[in-house]
Each structure stands twice: as C-alpha cells, then as structure tokens.
Structure 1
Amino acid sequence: MAKKLELKFYNTDNRTVTISLDQPVEPADPVAINQAMDEIITQNCFGSSGGDLVAKKEARIVERNVFGIDL
C-alpha cells in the first residue's frame, strides 16, 4: 500500500496543479500542511504550464492498492 500526500493548488489559469509527496507522516497535521502550502505560494518555488500557483485548493492523503492478476 503506497500512500502519498497530495497538495492541490490553483494556478494563474485557474487550473489544478498537484504536488505529490511520498510516505506522508500520519496522522496528518492540518496546521503544518496549511502553513507549508502558504509558504509554497509565497515563495513561488513551483511553476506550472498555466502560470504561478496562486491559491490552495485542497490537501489529501491518497492510498493506492495494486493487486497483480496471474495470467
């Protein structure tokens, strides 16, 4: 089971940009995540094809389960 923390932002074109981080610390700290997202926007340290990241959309932990199928 692989987990990721997804930080979703709106860019200048009002499109969603996702930054994914492997192996998030759990339980998630909403205050720390909120502050980190604010800092990412303030520092303008990530860009996208649709422009700068300008607003927070959401943050979530995603868990992915993969099951092989014998053929």
Structure 2
Amino acid sequence: MAKVLELEFITETGKAAKISVNDPIDPIDTVQVKAAMDNLIATGVFGSSGGALVSVDGARVVERNVTDYEVL
C-alpha cells in the first residue's frame, strides 16, 4: 500500500497548490507538518503557476492499493 502526505497551500493569486511527500513517517506529527509547511512558505523555496505559497490550507494522507493482473 502506497502512502503519500499531501501538503495543501493557497497561492498569492488564491489558487490551490499541493506538494506531495512519498512514504511519510507514521504516525503523522501534525505539529511538525504545520511547522514544515510554515517554513516552506517563509523561505519561498517552492512556487507555482499561481505564484508564491502564502498560506496553509491543509494536509492529508492518501493511501492507494494497486493490484496488477497478468493478462495474456
């Protein structure tokens, strides 16, 4: 099962932006996640087509199950 932590932001133009982190440490420490997101905003390391990241919108873990079938 693949897990991804999605960090959701609002940009300076009001658009949504997302940064995905593969295989996050479980359990999720929401205090650390919020601090990391605030740091990303403060340093301006990431941008988007909607401009700079200006605020935190949320965070979530997405789990995905994949089953491969051999078809001949």
Normalising by the smaller structure, the TM-score range is over 0.9
Amino acid corresponding to residue 12 of structure 2 in structure 1: T
Separation in structure 1 between the aligned mates of residue 60 and residue 7 of structure 2, nearest angstrom: 7
Richer in strand (by share): 2
TM-score (norm 1): 0.93
What's the offset of the Cα at 1:54? 0.3
Equivalent AA in structure 1 for residue 48 of structure 2: S
The amino acid across from 2:9 in the alignment is: F
What is the CA-CA distance between 1:68 and the residue it aligns to? 3.1
TM-score (norm 2): 0.91
Q: How far off is 1:67 after superposition?
A: 2.4
- Unaligned segments of structure 1, at least 5 residues: none
Q: Which runs of 5+ in 2 are unaligned?
A: none
Paired residue total: 71
